[in-house]
């Protein structure tokens, strides 16, 4: 699916997320992006679409890998997704623990009231 690399053609880098190991990435022309997104949607896959700069263009502009934006290094989409998942696990664990303690407190209150009830 890689088309001819004409200098005037806008290229995009497509990264398939959720793959085992190294994410699958490829470079395509602008006209092919919609078809790739539709195909990924049919198969239930997530894709990350980014504009692609030719390596020579990046050198001419003075850009380097590991670009720093807003005082912190740019993260990959995979790393951001992993951090988001970790936050979800921590939040779920907090609610499970809090809910268990509330239920245990309610049971303790029932035993306490039953012990002190007039018989």
Range of the domain at 48: 1-74
Helix (H, G, I), strand (E, B) or coil at 115: helix
- Do both 66 and 79 map to the same domain? no
Closest CA to 73 of 85, 64, 82, 83: 64
For residues 24 and 67, membership in a common domain is answered with: yes
Rounded CA separation 31/12 (Å): 10
4 lies in the same domain as 46: yes
pLDDT mean for each 10 residues of the chain (119 residues): 58 79 79 85 82 66 50 71 91 97 98 89
Please name the residues in contact with 32: beta carbons below 8 A apart, sequence gap of 6 or more: 1, 3
Sign of the C-alpha dihedral computed for residues 108, 110, 111 and 115 taken in this order: positive
* Confidence at residue 105, expressed as pLDDT on a 0 to 100 scale: 98
Based on the domain organization, do 65 and 80 belong to the same domain? no
């Amino acid at each position: 699916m890689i088309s001819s690399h004409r200098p005037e053609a806008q290229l995009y880098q497509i990264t398939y997320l959720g793959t085992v190991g190294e994410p699958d990435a490829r470079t395509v022309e602008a006209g092919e992006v919609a078809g790739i997104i539709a195909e990924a949607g049919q198969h239930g896959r997530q894709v990350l679409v980014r504009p692609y700069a030719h390596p020579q263009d990046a050198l001419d502009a003075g850009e380097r890998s590991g670009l720093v934006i807003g005082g912190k290094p740019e993260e990959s989409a995979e790393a951001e997704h992993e951090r988001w998942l970790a936050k979800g696990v921590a939040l779920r664990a907090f609610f499970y623990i809090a809910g268990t303690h509330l239920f245990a407190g309610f049971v303790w209150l029932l035993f306490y009231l039953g012990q002190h009830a007039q018989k």
